[in-house]
Amino acid sequence: MKSKYFSFFLLIISFLSFSGRYSFAQTFTVELQLKNQPDNTIVFGSVKGDDFIAIDSTSLKQSFGKVNFTFPQDAHPGVYRINLGTTTAGKILNEPPQFLDFIFDNENLVFDTDYKVPVGNLKIIKSKENTAWFGFLAKDKVIRQNIELLANEIDNYWLKGDTAKVISKANDFNQLQMERDMFISKTLDENRGLFASLMIKNLREPLLDGYLTPAERKQAYKKEFFKTVEFTDPLLINSSIYTDNIFKYLVNYNQYDFTQEKRKAEYIQALDLIVPNIKSNDEVYRFLMAYLVHGFNVLDMDNVISYISKKYNFPQ
């Protein structure tokens, strides 16, 4: 009798061991329903800052249909991309390919889109993450366009010396920025725990007073920028959020009429504000410093790279 129970016990242990081995081997897929796809190779891969790391590729035999890709078993949460290839005109003009960036965080994904306008024609059939992300982007685009229109109006009134008109638009400008910030807070509350929320949180921007001149607003942006975003979570390395934010910040230190010497001085000033604010996490720090060195190398700014190497002891 004891032997019979012991055999049954071993059978249960064996079953649990077998099921345990395979319970963690779940794989996830992304399905893309395509229209107007030319005879291009379709490449699937992950995004890491400015880099695209190819994982798999396929093609369609006709201009419409479905393509499927399987995420690697050890796939990390983050942004992935399906590169649909370059248009005929784009090949002549050396333009980048058509592509779709999306979030993956351990769920099966199903999308429908058109090669001609992948993001503009995107329909999310299945994905909690991307429903939240693209829903936010669509609404945020409208708000940001309205903020930019008001900023341009205010700048024009400043140029004309019409302070009365500046005052009449400044309140609207300030109010709209606050509405955007509240919209971000509301979206974060509604989507706690999603990878999309990590990204959305880092799309905040300083609230700039519309009563300031354009030059004063620019200085305020430089001063306040790092109070609105964080560079602390290594998960976001698997997206372009960090690198986009650094690039956006650096743009404020350049002007078309700068001499190379003036541009160098401005970028060094920017670096002295950037570097202390990206040091909280060593992995993030090393990733962004490498991005900065590479960027200045592309710009042939060896003097700025030397400054980084000497002051921050970061290898060239």
Q: Read off the pLDDT band of 10 (50, 70, 90).
A: very low
Shortest CA distance to 277 belongs to which of 244, 311, 242, 231?
Answer: 231
Report the chain's mean pLDDT, rounded to a whole number.
92
Whose tokens are 């909280």? That residue is 280
User: What are the sequence ranges of the domains in the chain?
Assistant: 29-126
Instruction: Give mean pLDDT, residues 78-93.
Output: 91
Half-sphere exposure of 213 (CA within 13 A, CB side): 7
pLDDT above 90: residue 61: no
Q: Read off the pLDDT band of 127 (50, 70, 90).
A: very high
Shortest CA distance to 165 belongs to which of 108, 210, 222?
Answer: 210
* Residue 228 main-chain phi, psi, to 5 deg: -105, -20
pLDDT above 70: residue 1: no
Cβ–Cβ under 8 Å, residues 111 and 100? yes
Percent of the chain exceeding pLDDT 70 equals 92
Q: Read off the pLDDT band of 25 (50, 70, 90).
A: low
What pLDDT, on a 0 to 100 scale, did the predictor assign at position 59? 93
What pLDDT, on a 0 to 100 scale, did the predictor assign at position 87? 87
Query: In this predicted structure, which of 88-92, 100-104, 145-149, 297-301 has the lowest mean pLDDT?
Result: 88-92
Helices assigned H by DSSP within 202-240: 214-228
What pLDDT, on a 0 to 100 scale, did the predictor assign at position 226? 97
Q: Read off the pLDDT band of 148 (50, 70, 90).
A: very high
Instruction: Give mean pLDDT, residues 231-256.
Output: 97
pLDDT above 80: residue 9: no
pLDDT above 70: residue 193: yes
Structure tokens at 257: 């009429």
Cβ–Cβ under 8 Å, residues 306 and 316? yes
pLDDT above 70: residue 117: yes
Cα separation, 64 vs 284, in Å, equals 40
**Domain topology for 29-126:** Immunoglobulin-like (2.60.40)
User: What is the pTM assigned to this prediction?
Assistant: 0.89
